[in-house]
Amino acid sequence: MNARSEGPLVSIEGLGKTFPTSAGDVQALSDVTFNIERGSLIGLVGESGSGKTTLGRCLLRLVEPTAGRVVFDGTDITALDQRGLKAMRKRMQIIFQDPFSSLNPRMRIRQIVGEALVAHGIGRNRRERDDIVAGLLEEVGLSADHMGRFPHEFSGGQRQRIGIARALAVEPEFIIADESVSALDVSVQAQILNLLQDLRDRRGLTILFIAHDLSVVEYLCDEMVVLYLGRVAETGPSDDVYRLPGHPYTRALLSAIPTIDPEGRQARQILAGDIPSPLSPPSGCVFRTRCPHAIDACAEKVPEPHSISSRHHAACLRLGEI
């Protein structure tokens, strides 16, 4: 067990990511800054193309950031060499979006879940590793008897449970769940969400839950970060953000959540147009081309985060006016 330091488990400081293409540089992330507190279950939301998956992979250095830092428990992981990064990866893992393509169809479940045990030298022999795998499968709601089967013998929900067991194998402290229920039926989604919540509570995990479905985030997460075109629009406790969204983009997203109580949610706000191309993002506030409240100043200045409360912030020049 790693000794706990003070402060947040993960600090993202001015993180940027640019992808060079034949058409020009794609600015996928720009000056992303926020903290992930220990033991929190934080939702990262935004439309497709907002940079959510890129951000998640940059945090684990599956994709290399081009600017800024990621500090994990006091260590700048963006400065680690490959040996240091391998050791750090025991403490941080990912659950992928697609339970069908994320598992090797040629490997048995014993190998899939136990692969990380071998890579990190956990377990003295196959019998010990099999015991660990059996325990992990049972912890996520499967049977130890499933170890000898192949992925095609399982349903989508069962495969995602296998993916979760694989992520837990090295006993990480931090897990990124990248759209981990979006490919599942609604009833199965609820089971996986309850499992993640239970694992967080039982193991003391810190989880970054990437999603586009805000109703799922409302149900699961105690903190949230709203991302738009690679920039942070709003951060704060989920209850505060849902009750009093500060950014016009957040309001539009929240207004689109289906509800059986139409009077309990604000009127639907339809955003004009599509999310702009990251090849040529708008100047100033990147949301201004779709914002019904934009003024000339929005084209001239990138908005800084402003406080709505001590833990609730929104990056809008007109915060408090609209």
- For 116-170, the pLDDT digits (tens) are 999 999 998 999 999 999 999 999 999 999 999 999 999 999 999 999 999 999 9
Q: By CB neighbour count within 10 A (0-12 exposed, 13-18 middle, 19+ buried), where does 98 fall?
A: middle
Tell me the average pLDDT of the chain: 92
Residue 12, pLDDT > 90, answer yes
> 308 near 246, Cβ under 8 Å?
yes
Handedness of CA 40, 43, 49, 50 (dihedral sign): negative
Assigned token pair, 252: 């539009």
19-45 average pLDDT score: 96
Handedness of CA 49, 71, 225, 230 (dihedral sign): negative
Integer Cα distance of 53 and 234 in angstroms: 17
Where are the chain's structural domains? 8-314
Q: What is the pLDDT of residue 5?
A: 61
pLDDT band for 30, please (50, 70, 90 cuts): very high
The mean-pLDDT minimum among 57-61, 116-120, 212-216 falls in 212-216
247-254 average pLDDT score: 94
Integer Cα distance of 178 and 279 in angstroms: 24
Residue 40, pLDDT > 80, answer yes
pLDDT band for 1, please (50, 70, 90 cuts): very low
SS3 call for 119: helix
**DSSP character for 319?**
T
Q: b/e for 33-49, b at 16 or more Cβ within 10 A?
A: ebbbebebbbbbbbbeb
Question: Higher model confidence: residue 273 or residue 73?
Answer: 73
SS3 content of the chain, % helix, strand, coil (to 5): 35, 20, 45
Q: What is the pLDDT of residue 97?
A: 86
Integer Cα distance of 160 and 4 in angstroms: 30
292-305 average pLDDT score: 95
Q: What is the pLDDT of residue 306?
A: 95
Pairing type for strands 174-178 and 92-95 reads: parallel
pTM: 0.92
- Of 66, 63, 112, 60, the C-alpha closest to 88 is 60
**What homologous superfamily does CATH list for 8-314?**
P-loop containing nucleotide triphosphate hydrolases (3.40.50.300)
